[in-house]
């Protein structure tokens, strides 16, 4: 990681610390809805061939994509954290999918790829961790080709008041307590909900991406906005 800031180092260390329980806690605190949302997100790129999974972590977005019979392409997994990518590597080996992927260590805000290298970018649950959405957006636009698609899935801000109230109670209060039963790292599961509090809402994020020059930028709420899928076109 070149010129990495303190925030990036702290985040990367946090993911190293929780890597072993990361998948398990995701399933528990999301009641497995993360899997459903991932499947909906990746459907938008199954017809494409060269896909980049940015902030790939333990590889769950890539696995969802490669498990789709209609997807015949290859995926490059990119993340700045070696430990998370090592887990992705072993999971993909066990599933017999290792020959359809490449793994690259790199920063989402300074991607180590040539211009127009990919037909699509996917990203799961990582937008809130980025230091600069501007840098990420511009880099994504640079590495996809003319018809390239960017599909980003993340936890979001519910737009219905009742759902927002219940979600806030669960996500900010109950989920961090639940997580403590499964990890010694209290900081991580306090940080993750806090990172949403200060993050853009869906409409603001779409305006941000349009401002970065994407010709199309739309979002689709999952369960009234507890998560959202953002679709961008170069
Ligand atoms: C919450 S995990 C998401 C992992 C995976 N995409 C998923 O859907 O489960 C966030 C991942 O983003 C990575 N990450 C955060 N900031 C990054 C950056 N600037 N460049 C590359 N990876 C980054 C972390 O190392 C971590 O693996």
Q: What is the pLDDT of residues 37-94, one digit of tens each?
A: 999 999 999 999 999 999 999 999 999 999 999 999 999 999 999 999 999 999 999 9
* CA–CA gap between residue 224 and residue 229 (Å, rounded): 12
Q: Determine the atom of ligand 1 nearest the C-alpha atom of 56.
A: 6
214 band by pLDDT with thresholds 50, 70 and 90:
very high
Distance 99 CA to ligand 1 centre (A): 22
Q: Is 129 in the pocket of ligand 1 (CB under 6 A)?
A: yes
- Identify whether the C-beta of residue 62 lies closer than 8 Å to the C-beta of residue 75: yes
Q: Is the model's pTM score more than 0.85? A: yes
Half-sphere exposure for 81 (CA within 13 Å, toward CB) = 24
Phi and psi at 124, nearest 5°, equal -120, 125
Q: Is 126 in the pocket of ligand 1 (CB under 6 A)?
A: yes
Distance 160 CA to ligand 1 centre (A): 28
187 band by pLDDT with thresholds 50, 70 and 90:
confident
Q: Is 15 in the pocket of ligand 1 (CB under 6 A)?
A: yes
Highest mean pLDDT among 26-30, 31-35, 117-121: 117-121
* CA–CA gap between residue 233 and residue 62 (Å, rounded): 20
**Nearest Cα residue to 38 out of 59, 64, 57:** 64
Q: Determine the atom of ligand 1 nearest the C-alpha atom of 84.
A: 27
Q: What is the pLDDT of residues 110-138, one digit of tens each?
A: 999 999 999 999 999 999 999 999 999 99
- The answer, yes or no, to whether residue 1 has pLDDT greater than 70, is no
Domains in the chain: ranges and CATH: 6-233 (3.40.50.150)
Distance 52 CA to ligand 1 centre (A): 13
Q: Is 107 in the pocket of ligand 1 (CB under 6 A)?
A: yes
Q: Is 140 in the pocket of ligand 1 (CB under 6 A)?
A: no
* CA–CA gap between residue 22 and residue 189 (Å, rounded): 10
- List beta partners, residue 25: none
Q: Are strands 144-155 and 118-124 parallel, antiparallel or unpaired?
A: parallel
The tokens describing 197, both together, are 């509090």
Could you tell me which residues come within 8 angstroms of residue 199 by beta carbon, excluding any fewer than 6 positions away? 127, 128
């Amino acid at each position: 990681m070149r010129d990495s800031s303190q925030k990036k180092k702290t985040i990367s260390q946090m993911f190293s610390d929780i890597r072993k329980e990361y998948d398990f806690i995701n399933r528990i605190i999301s009641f497995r809805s993360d899997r459903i949302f991932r499947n909906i997100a990746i459907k938008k790129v199954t017809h494409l061939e060269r896909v980049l999974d940015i902030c790939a972590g333990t590889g769950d977005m890539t696995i969802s994509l490669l498990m789709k019979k209609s997807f015949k392409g290859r995926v490059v997994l990119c993340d700045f954290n070696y430990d998370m990518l090592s887990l992705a590597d072993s999971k993909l080996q066990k599933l017999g999918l290792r020959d359809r992927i490449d793994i690259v260590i790199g920063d989402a805000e300074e991607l180590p790829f040539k211009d127009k290298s990919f037909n699509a970018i996917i990203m799961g649950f990582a937008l809130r961790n980025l230091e600069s959405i501007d840098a990420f957006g511009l880099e994504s636009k640079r590495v996809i080709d003319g018809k390239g698609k960017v599909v980003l899935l993340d936890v979001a801000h519910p737009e219905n008041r009742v759902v927002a109230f219940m979600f806030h109670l669960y996500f900010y209060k109950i989920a961090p307590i639940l997580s403590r039963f499964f990890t010694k790292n209290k900081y991580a599961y306090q940080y993750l909900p806090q990172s949403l509090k200060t993050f853009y809402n869906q409409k603001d994020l779409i305006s941000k991406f349009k401002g970065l020059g994407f010709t199309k930028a739309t979002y689709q709420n999952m369960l009234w906005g507890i998560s959202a899928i953002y679709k961008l076109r170069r």
